[in-house]
Every structure is written in structure tokens, then in C-alpha cells.
Amino acid sequence: MDNDFNIVESVDKDIRKAKMILGEYSHDKDKMEKLFNHILFRYIDKIQNIADDLAVISPYSGNIEATSIYMENVQKLVKRLEMFKGNGYSNEGLFEFYLRSEDIEDKFDSTESISDIIIDIGMMENITIREKEEISTKLGEIEQILAITETKSKKWERLRPYVVWISGKEYSVAIKILPLFLRFR
């Protein structure tokens, strides 16, 4: 790090700035791209794992999709800046801090309604709008299957493709949906 760089002031300022820009310009591709590049390139060599699991924008991505991906990546970066701050502005033990924070966020609730699951997934920052819509549609289909009056084995045959579908989702999404399969009757 160069001598003129104050990590504490810089992180605090960039968190505030990013939240303001996200609040006012989250649907402006140019502003999201500029903010993403600013945060990423400022901290890539300073904060451990800050760039892990960021979504990639394809040259074939449309404007709306690219904007959504930039916005979600910025939200991830801001969360990581906040975690870095919560870890005392230090990389020492930061990965363990990430893991502890993930454990706190994991909620395995077998009584949660499908509507509650849809709302929770809609609030997740780590998945695209398109994926949220797909998940909502699939959950509606699962809800219809669960409401059908038939034997457990016939229901299971109808639900099996959805288990395979869930296996392709991120952990945070799968952990919200899987409890549905533990309570069908």
C-alpha cells in the first residue's frame, strides 16, 4: 500500500458513496459500471477475496442485464467492504470472518411459507433479477404440486426435476428452498 492511502477513511467514504449511488442510480449502467470499477480496482490488492464470485458480464449481455449484474456486483463489493470494516480493517482473519457471517445468514426453516421464501429470495443481493423471476415461477409450480391430492410417491415423481433444478442454484438459494421437500404430504 502506498503511504498516502488511508484504508479506514477510504473504506468508510466508499461505503457511503456506493450506498448513495446505489440508492439513486441503481438502474444507470454507466454509473454502476464506473462505481464497480472504482471499488474493484481500488481494493483488489488491498482486501482479501474482495473479487471472489463476482458475476461476469458477457459481451452479448443487453443493457438491462449488464446494469443488473453491475448493480449486484457493487452490492457484493459493498458488503465485503463492510465485512472488512467489521473485521477491524484487517485482512488477518477476514476469511474466517466471512465464514462466520455466512453461518449467521443461513436459516434452515422448514415451516416457512412459499410466499416468505419468495420474499426472502427477492431480497437477496447475490442473484440476478432474471434468476429471481425464474425461482419465483418454479416455486409457484412446486406449490401447485404440493397442493395436489395424490400419493407421496406420485408427488415425489413430480417434484424430482425440481430437486435437480435446485442443485444448480447457489447455496443461499438452495438452503431456502430445500425445506419445502422435507414437509410434503
> pLDDT (tens digit, 9 = 90+) per residue, 26-49?
889 999 999 999 999 999 999 988
Give the pLDDT score at 1.
Answer: 46
Q: 104-139 as b/e, with b when 16 or more CB fall inside 10 Å? A: eeeeeeeebeeeebbeebeebebbeeebbeebeebb
Phi (first) and psi of residue 23, to 5 degrees: -65, -35
pLDDT over threshold 70, residue 105? no
Could you give the count of Cα atoms lying within 13 Å of 101 in the half-sphere of its Cβ? 13
pLDDT digits (tens, 9 = 90+) for 126-181: 778 888 899 999 999 998 998 888 888 898 899 999 999 998 888 888 888 888 88
